[in-house]
């Protein structure tokens, strides 16, 4: 995956959807600040990021902040990421967001400190700590990777992909509603729309 895609992916993984070049370089591990700055300037010129001076959401400093240009990229809209998995359910984008909130809620409940910025790392750590069963963690990775392919690689999200995502979501939800009901409900209240 290219560095610009990794930068966008990182910004999408943090709730503020933006931060300064220093924090971006340090927390995403993409490379030296100069490289990150150069890529961010290019992404801004392409209209994918907005760069403005302000308070950095990830640190106690005022700097030039790169923020994603809009909620949900145009690519994800174009490729059906916002279409419900079936009538009355979440879209792949919403399912991904819900799982992100759920992992944060699980982390707050069972772990110390801040969760990792990357959802992949968060899922894997929760699984290794036996807070998530292997099967459900795999289904979360399925939703996460499908969503990333739609948004970053322009995967056309057709009926087969929707079927996989829907089944993965149901496997996660069935487990979470029974075993981590509180964190699951908390994730719902943090989301704009609730799971059907
Ligand atoms: Zn910062």
Task: Report yes or no on 83 lying in a domain.
Answer: yes
Mean pLDDT by 10 residues, the chain (196 residues): 87 88 90 92 87 90 88 47 68 89 94 92 97 98 91 79 91 95 87 45
Instruction: Please tell me the predicted confidence (pLDDT) of residue 47.
Output: 80
CA of 61 to the centre of ligand 1 (A): 6
117 and 138 co-located in one domain: yes
Q: Which residues contact 32 (CB under 8 A, 6 or more apart)?
A: 25
CA of 196 to the centre of ligand 1 (A): 37
Which is nearest to 100 in space by CA: 177, 182, 13? Answer: 13
CA of 127 to the centre of ligand 1 (A): 30
103 and 79 co-located in one domain: yes
Give the tokens for residue 20.
């300064």
Task: Report yes or no on 170 lying in a domain.
Answer: yes
Task: Report yes or no on 98 lying in a domain.
Answer: yes
Number of domains in the chain: 2
Range of the domain at 122: 75-190
81 and 141 co-located in one domain: yes
51 and 106 co-located in one domain: no
Task: Report yes or no on 195 lying in a domain.
Answer: no
12 and 40 co-located in one domain: yes
Instruction: Please tell me the predicted confidence (pLDDT) of residue 77.
Output: 47
Instruction: Please tell me the predicted confidence (pLDDT) of residue 70.
Output: 65
Task: Report yes or no on 196 lying in a domain.
Answer: no
* Contact status, residue 105 vs residue 112, Cβ threshold 8 Å: no
Task: Report yes or no on 28 lying in a domain.
Answer: yes
Between CA 98 and CA 70 the distance in angstroms is 19
Give the tokens for residue 139.
């289904």
Q: With helix as H, strand as E and coil as C, how does the chain read?
A: CCHHHHHHHHHHHCCCCEEEHHHHHHHHCCCCHHHHHHHHHHHHHCCCEEEEEEECCCCCCEEEEEEECCCCCHHHHHCCCCCECCCCCCEHHHHHHHHHHHHHHHHHHHCCCCCCCCHHHHHHHHHHCCCCCHHHHHHHHHHHHHHHHHHHCCCCCCHHHHHHHHHHHHHHHHHHHHHCHHHHHHHHHHCCCCCC
CA of 15 to the centre of ligand 1 (A): 14
Query: Which residues keep their CB under 5 angstroms from ion ligand 1?
Result: 20, 23, 56, 58-59
134 and 166 co-located in one domain: yes
CATH of the domain at 46: 1.10.10.10
Sign of CA dihedral 37, 40, 44, 49: negative
């Amino acid at each position: 995956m290219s560095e610009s895609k990794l930068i966008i992916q990182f910004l999408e993984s943090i709730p503020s959807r933006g931060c300064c070049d220093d924090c971006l370089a340090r927390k995403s591990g993409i490379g030296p600040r100069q490289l990150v700055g150069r890529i961010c300037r290019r992404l801004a010129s392409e209209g994918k990021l907005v760069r403005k001076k302000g308070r950095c959401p990830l640190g106690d400093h005022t700097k030039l902040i790169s923020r994603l240009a809009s909620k949900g990229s145009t690519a994800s809209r174009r490729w059906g990421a916002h279409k419900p998995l079936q009538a009355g359910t979440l879209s792949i984008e919403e399912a991904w967001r819900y799982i992100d909130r759920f992992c944060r809620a699980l982390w707050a409940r069972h772990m110390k400190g801040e969760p990792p910025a990357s959802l992949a790392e968060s899922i894997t750590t929760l699984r290794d700590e036996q807070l998530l069963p292997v099967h459900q963690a795999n289904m979360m990775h399925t939703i996460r990777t499908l969503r990333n392919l739609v948004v970053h690689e322009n995967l056309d999200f057709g009926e087969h992909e929707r079927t996989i995502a829907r089944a993965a979501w149901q496997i996660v939800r069935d487990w979470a509603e029974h075993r981590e009901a509180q964190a699951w409900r908390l994730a719902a209240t943090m989301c704009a729309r609730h799971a059907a």
